[in-house]
């Protein structure tokens, strides 16, 4: 059986590009348009894009550290093996729901994203204070704010991080996921129109959704009965 670990989290992030386009594509476009003096051929453009995305990934890792630590506390509060099994089952089911959401077969996770908007309303003003972005460091800080944008895909992987086994493991899992999202979002910054037309195709969404569902099923199949 293939281990669904860091490589799996990376691939889920990569496949989630169809969702990232909807959630973050507008942000990427706005950030790019906010730098009219630069284009994709300049080093300054790519430094800003990397700054945004590295800040975003660091926020994912901080959230993963919190989730992993919380999962460890939950596991220690009860029978360890049973609690880990329950957390792993929840993670697998959330991954299947995420695949259904990506493929357009079910929209239930949209409600989770709307609930996360309550937190985002408190954080988003911090990001506005960093605009317009004039340096990679400023872009990095804005990316850290951006990383807390309500997103069903991120929430699904955070549920996975609960069962990772600890704070470090949770942070690494979210870091691998964030790196998986990096190629799509960097390309969106350079060619948002072309990427948009490609990733919005129903077939692309259904293939990505189906593969994420497969990862969720693999996670469930790897569970072993507790003696």
SS3 9: helix
Q: What is the pTM assigned to this prediction?
A: 0.78
Region 42-70 average pLDDT: 88
pLDDT at 65: 96
Q: What ranges do the domains of the chain cover? A: 6-33+41-221
Q: What is the pLDDT of residues 83-117, one digit of tens each?
A: 778 888 888 888 888 788 778 788 777 777 677 66
Provide the 8-state DSSP code for 213.
H
Distances in Å between the alpha carbon of 155 and those of 60, 122, 173, 181, 186? 10, 18, 13, 14, 21
Please write the tens of the pLDDT for every residue from 120-169.
677 777 777 777 777 888 889 988 888 887 777 888 889 889 888 899 99
């Amino acid at each position: 059986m293939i281990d669904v670990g860091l490589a799996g989290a990376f691939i889920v992030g990569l496949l989630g590009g169809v969702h990232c386009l909807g959630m973050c594509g507008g942000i990427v476009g706005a950030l790019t348009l906010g730098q009219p003096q630069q284009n994709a051929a300049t080093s300054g453009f790519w430094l800003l894009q990397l700054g945004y995305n590295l800040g975003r990934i660091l926020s994912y890792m901080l959230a993963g550290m919190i989730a992993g630590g919380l999962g460890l506390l939950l596991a220690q509060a009860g029978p360890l093996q049973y609690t880990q099994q329950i957390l792993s089952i929840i993670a697998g089911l959330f991954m299947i729901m995420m695949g259904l959401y990506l493929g357009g077969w079910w929209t239930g996770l949209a409600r989770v994203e709307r609930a996360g908007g309550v937190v985002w309303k408190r954080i988003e003003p911090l990001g506005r204070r960093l605009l317009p972005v004039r340096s990679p460091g400023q872009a990095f800080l804005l990316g850290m704010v951006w990383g807390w944008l309500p997103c069903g895909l991120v929430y699904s992987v955070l549920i996975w991080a609960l069962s990772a086994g600890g704070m470090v493991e949770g942070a690494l899992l979210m870091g691998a996921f964030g790196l998986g999202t990096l190629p799509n979002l960097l390309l969106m910054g350079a060619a948002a129109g072309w990427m948009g037309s490609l990733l919005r195709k129903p077939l692309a969404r259904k293939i990505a959704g189906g593969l994420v569902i497969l990862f969720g099923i693999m996670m469930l199949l790897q569970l072993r009965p507790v003696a």
